[in-house]
Amino acid sequence: MTRPARHSHGDGRWTLQSFATCGAGSVLEETVLAFHAERIEIGADVYVGHLTVLKGYHRGRLVIGDGTWIGEGCYLGAAGGLEIGTDVGIGPGTRILTSHHVEDGLDLPILHSALAYRAVSLGAGSDLGVGCTVLPGVTIGRGVQVAAGAVVTADLPDHAVAAGVPARVLRMRS
């Protein structure tokens, strides 16, 4: 088996001018890593915490809406496209994925199989608790509360409160 050649994705260093856009009043802690920053759009008054990885990738876009707060140690992968609405809270340690390996039979290691890309969308005013994982292709509606540690595998409707692995709607906010 011939393995694909490996290459560096860069060191993740950035300046505010590296991003496609970066709105007024936004704060990115100096230990944030941004890859393909030219594919990342940051709104106004956004906060991005220490040790967070913003992965714009060479395809897809990462769009972060105005007033969003992203805790420390998050991983936001936007290979398939990631759109975060306005005033969204993303708890520390949250992971959002927009790509996954497809099954290519038993003769090929999963690592070397093709990637599938599926966009993720987080609605305005939503909040993801500490350590959530959002899987590719998920749409989280407006004003949704996702509990700490939840794994979101399917769409969540506006104003839902969801928890668990996989995340399930517990009730609707009122």
Which residues are part of the catalytic machinery?
A: 101
Q: What is the CATH number of the domain that holds 142?
A: 2.160.10.10
* Cα–Cα dist 140/124, whole Å: 9
Phi first, then psi, for residue 39 (nearest 5°) are: -105, 10
In a domain, 1, yes or no: no
Domain of residue 136, residue span: 20-168
172 Cβ contact partners less than 8 Å away, ≥ 6 residues apart? 157, 159, 160, 161
Q: Does the residue 12 lie in any domain?
A: no
- In order along its 174 residues, the chain shows pLDDT tens digits of 778 888 888 899 999 999 999 999 999 999 999 999 999 999 999 999 999 999 988 788 999 999 999 999 999 999 999 999 999 999 999 999 999 999 888 888 898 899 999 999 999 999 999 999 999 999 999 999 999 999 999 999 999 999 999 999 999 999
The structure tokens 């599926």 sit at: 118
Number of domains in the chain: 1
5 inside domain? no
